[in-house]
Structure 1
Amino acid sequence: MDASPPPEMPLGKLVKSLPERLAERVLEDVMTGRLKPGDRLKEELLAQTHAVSRATVREALIALARQGYVVRIPRSGARIAEFSGQDLDDLFELRAALLSTAAGRYTRRAGPAQRADLESLVVDLEGLAAKPDTSPQDFATQSVRIQTFLTERCGNNHLPDMYKRLAGMGMWQLIRGQASSFLTQAGRAESAADWRRLADRVLANDAEGAERAARLLLEHSAVRVRQHFDEAVRVEQQP
């Protein structure tokens, strides 16, 4: 008996709401540096700038606050969240724990075809790392693609959203401070080597080794990010 086709996505679900689109626009301004950590977000100004209602602005700010990009202070309004070096360390520690769990679970669940899929993604990353003119953004996109692949296929239904939220909380302030883990070719090469170590452990069906490799991968990334972040802070503090 043929299986019933999956229900189509309702049309109303395919179009993002105004608050969602406004939240994306504000986040884009943060990532490009037009909005800085600590900047106040005035509802009236946002409403006028984007030709939307203040209710739409409030919904967008609430959504951004849930994601950690905005801090809402009673009687003071909303501001772009500020993160310290310790915040970055804490976020990476949690991400490392989650990615380690995902890598171990994936290794235990994956068959030959699934392991080959991971191998293909890592080979593509290694190809990017080998090219001197690869942009940090292109390399980061592939790295995120592999992380998403592992977390979404590890068999824990709660882990992907948790990991995505933690990764997102750390992303914009890294861009703001130019504290990318992949700014240099050496950094990209180190990351590719870390992913190779993890992929080899998965191919060998070594779940514990995959867990250790995933944790080491993010520990190395955290060191590179923290170095760039601290340098950006020093530059900002110079008179």
Structure 2
Amino acid sequence: MAASKSHKGGVRACTEVKRVDADGRAVAERAAAEACSAQPGRYYADRHSYCLSDTRITYTLYDPGSGAATGVGEISLSSNAEPDANSGWWNEEFTATVTKTEGHVSSLAVNLTASCTNACRMINPDAWGTKVLVLRRSISSHVTYSSSPAKGTETMVTPQYSLKLYQPGDTPGDSYHNWSLPLKVRCDAELSGYGCVINQLQAVLKLPLSKYGEAAATYWYAQAELADHWGAPDNPLSRNKDEAAHKANRYRT
């Protein structure tokens, strides 16, 4: 994510979004980040979830005459979401923590809103309104996405975000940042109801011998030794949309 700058009303400020080294992480109290296994400043995803870990966003206030920096503030932003394979809506939880205030910046106003593309709408686009936080204070809340593609179709949803970060007393919106989730959430109504997953990540079927015994061994043999290699990397599993075929396959199995 890149920096965003602005110049309004004689006050110049900028926000910068960056990854941080481990030494810079000790202060924040981040419930969402602790649930995310990504490196700081990066996204992590599996088929049923995605999260953002400890992205540091810096706000710098400049003197309009000399151009010298007069203060710096920083927040840590983390998020966590779990699209539902059996539902067309999901929440994304955000936590913002003020990790630095220096000079003329003594507190930060934080406003985070979300939107989404294609057959998707926001039930709750505003995470927490505008909250003013001082050093080491956090705010947590969620936004809610809802996708309802037409029956028998699918849609690729991209969550998008807009963050306003400024010192109270400055012009709201002077410094802001916009970005998108680097992955897409696939929502479809191909079977009964709706469902959403991160479909760029292949589904994995786990059948441990300790739990399924001879059945697991049989499936392993079919995957490894039969010509079609069902479910192996060279022939990944795919969805069969035919309900009658589902029943027939289960009967034959």
Which structure has more strand as a fraction of its residues? 2
Which TM bucket (shorter chain)? Answer: under 0.3
Which structure has more helix as a fraction of its residues? 1
Could you tell me the TM-score, scaled by structure 1's length? 0.23
State which structure, 1 or 2, has the greater radius of gyration over its C-alpha atoms: 2
Could you tell me the TM-score, scaled by structure 2's length? 0.22
